[in-house]
Structure 1
Amino acid sequence: MFKIVKNLNNKCIMNNIMIKVDLKDRKILYELDLDSRQSLTKIGKKVGLHKNVVVYRIKRLIEKGVIINFYTVIDSFKLGYNSLRFYLIFRHITPEIRKEMVDYFVNNKHTWWVGSFEGSYDLAVLFWVKELQDFYIFWEETLKKYRHYFQIQSVCNYVQLQLFRNSFLLDEPNKTDREKFEITGGGRKVKTNELDFKILEILS
């Protein structure tokens, strides 16, 4: 999957720099975000461009910083993990303490994702554990270290994740196009072995 920077009025905003993208670029971004495993030839047919032109445009979008990362969406539930997310609002915090705290979360073996925000929350952390007790032990240790810096703390255990197509990238998005196209959290667990996890680690 491709991580896409927010699009607004034919422009992408990244680090306060406005980058102009045309409709063809946005259609390519839409198709990549929908299914980046589809062939470039197939994407070209959908957007009305030759495969070589699609390759050129993708490289240009990477160079301009519109496409900033590649990542794999993994269904943690099928691997037997519980997914917990906690949101924090800070108080009385210095840049040094904030960095220390972020490093603390990033370096934990159960952490899957850490996000820093400006808005309703200051920081969000996504945690994967097979046993909820592992999270509670970690959370108690976290509160002992940093409780003084938390104005608000919100912890949730989510059981289903729905993703929606980014049809805002298109000029005339179809209303039905906003329907969910991928769900995690349903179905049975999948049997895996050590080799499977090594492959997933490389992909992610």
Structure 2
Amino acid sequence: MKNIKLDVKDKKILYELMENARFSYCTIGKNIQLSREMTAHKIKRMQKLGVLKGFTAHIFKPLIGMNIQYELFINLQSPKNEKDKIIEELVSHPDTLMVAEIEGWFNLHVIFCAKDRFHSWDVFEFIRQLCKLDNNFEFTINAKNRFASRLFFLEDLDYKSPRKNYKDAFHDIFLKHRLMKEEAVKLDEIDYMILNYLREDSRIPLKVLGKELGLASNSVKSRIIRLIKEEVLYSFTPVIDFKKLGFDEYFLLLRLNGDSNQKTKIFNFISKNKKTYLANSIIGKWDHKFILFSKSKDQILDFISEILEEFLDSIARYDLLWTTKIHKLVSYPELGN
């Protein structure tokens, strides 16, 4: 597959959309010094090329009862036709968030979320029987997520958004409500429907969303503002196929030694690297999972060597996996059912 090349303005547009996927063409254009019309043209072109696969929302799942997120790394020992059927069933399960083929010590990666330990056991039992799990998997619990630099796609471009319009796309409200609450939030069916629509397309115009729900656009706007202030809804993001830009996705899994200060140093050292997209604290065989993107596996191996050289005595174990094909990726399950 031939990689798609982006120009400087394309990269800046992706940066702006990663700041807030609901930013208007006008706001993005002002920030990158491009006309509204040309900004719209470039976004639609990236959609047509499949670089921009869509736009979604992210929510703080514990506040709506989805209390725990689990990950399974599986070494599936099945013929291809049986493996395809297993993947199809995993994709169709309502509680799976991600199903992907990977390489390394494992060949299948599954993420799911659950309301409580009984629900999680039901989902795990379904996967255990479907995939014939025995000693061929590792099970982790996601304790904390943190977006890292996420600037790898800019490559040599040094860009930071001037952020000329904080009030567009609820951005000023997002900036004021960044602390994660612990108390559950009571939502009604309309709230769930709004979150479901935003999951499918976070750029949906308020007027269109209001028409779908039978509400005035101002009522929809007020509800979204409340969801942000209640810290249920915490970002609008683009769904980007980085593989079409030549970037492969890697998972660096670490088990650490040492005191908490040293562990924090390692976590920050990796998180601040330009290749790092997401930094997770997890419970299980490893302490942390870092999602990295690079055009070259050698660059990832060089980065790992750099980490080992800097913190050799503090790293008890590391594993490297990489994604070959994503079959399902959603930010949260359909709500309200």
Q: Which runs of 4+ in 1 moved over 6 A?
A: none
Residue among 180, 183, 186 paired with 1:191:
186
Aligned to 2:68: 83
Q: How does 1:97-112 map to 2 (within 5 A)?
A: 97-112=82-97
Moved more, 139-148 or 19-28: 139-148
Q: Which residue identity lines up with residue 166 of structure 1 in the other structure?
A: R
Q: Deviations over 1:6-53 (max 9, x none)?
A: xxxxxxxxxx22111111110001111121112221111111101111
The yes-or-no answer on 1:201 pairing with 2:214 is: no
Residue among 88, 109, 116 paired with 1:124:
109
The yes-or-no answer on 1:140 pairing with 2:125 is: yes
Instruction: Specify whether residues 38 and 145 from structure 1 end up closer, same or farther in structure 2 by C-alpha distance, changes over 3 A only.
Output: closer
Q: Percent identity?
A: 25
Q: Could you tell me how far 1:195 is from its partner in structure 2?
A: 1.9
* Aligned residue pair count: 181
Aligned to 1:51: 36
Structure 2 gap ranges (5+): 161-174, 200-337
Residue among 141, 161, 176 paired with 1:157:
141
Say whether the 8 Å CA contact 1:40–1:55 is kept in structure 2. Answer: yes
Say whether the 8 Å CA contact 2:70–2:112 is kept in structure 1. Answer: yes
Q: Deviations over 1:101-126 (max 9, x none)?
A: 11222222222332232345322222
Say whether the 8 Å CA contact 1:62–1:68 is kept in structure 2. Answer: yes
Residue among 150, 171, 174 paired with 1:166:
150
Separation in 1 of the partners of 2:179 and 2:104?
Answer: 28
Instruction: Specify whether residues 153 and 59 from structure 1 end up closer, same or farther in structure 2 by C-alpha distance, changes over 3 A only.
Output: same
| TM-score, normalising length: structure 1 | 0.77
| TM-score, normalising length: structure 2 | 0.48
Q: Which residue identity lines up with residue 32 of structure 1 in the other structure?
A: L
Q: How does 1:36-75 map to 2 (within 5 A)?
A: 36-75=21-60
Say whether the 8 Å CA contact 1:160–1:186 is kept in structure 2. Answer: no
The answer to which structure, 1 or 2, has the higher relative contact order (CA under 8 A, 6+ apart) is: 2
Aligned to 2:237: none
Q: Which residue identity lines up with residue 58 of structure 2 in the other structure?
A: V
Task: Output the aligned Cα RMSD.
Answer: 2.6
Say whether the 8 Å CA contact 1:40–1:54 is kept in structure 2. Answer: yes
Instruction: Specify whether residues 37 and 145 from structure 1 end up closer, same or farther in structure 2 by C-alpha distance, changes over 3 A only.
Output: closer
Q: Which residue identity lines up with residue 187 of structure 1 in the other structure?
A: K
Instruction: Specify whether residues 24 and 173 from structure 1 end up closer, same or farther in structure 2 by C-alpha distance, changes over 3 A only.
Output: closer
Q: Deviations over 1:102-154 (max 9, x none)?
A: 12222222223322323453222221211112111332343234226x66312
Q: Which residue identity lines up with residue 51 of structure 2 in the other structure?
A: V
Aligned to 2:5: 20
Say whether the 8 Å CA contact 1:34–1:165 is kept in structure 2. Answer: no
Structure 1 gap ranges (5+): 1-15, 175-180
Separation in 1 of the partners of 2:81 and 2:191?
Answer: 38
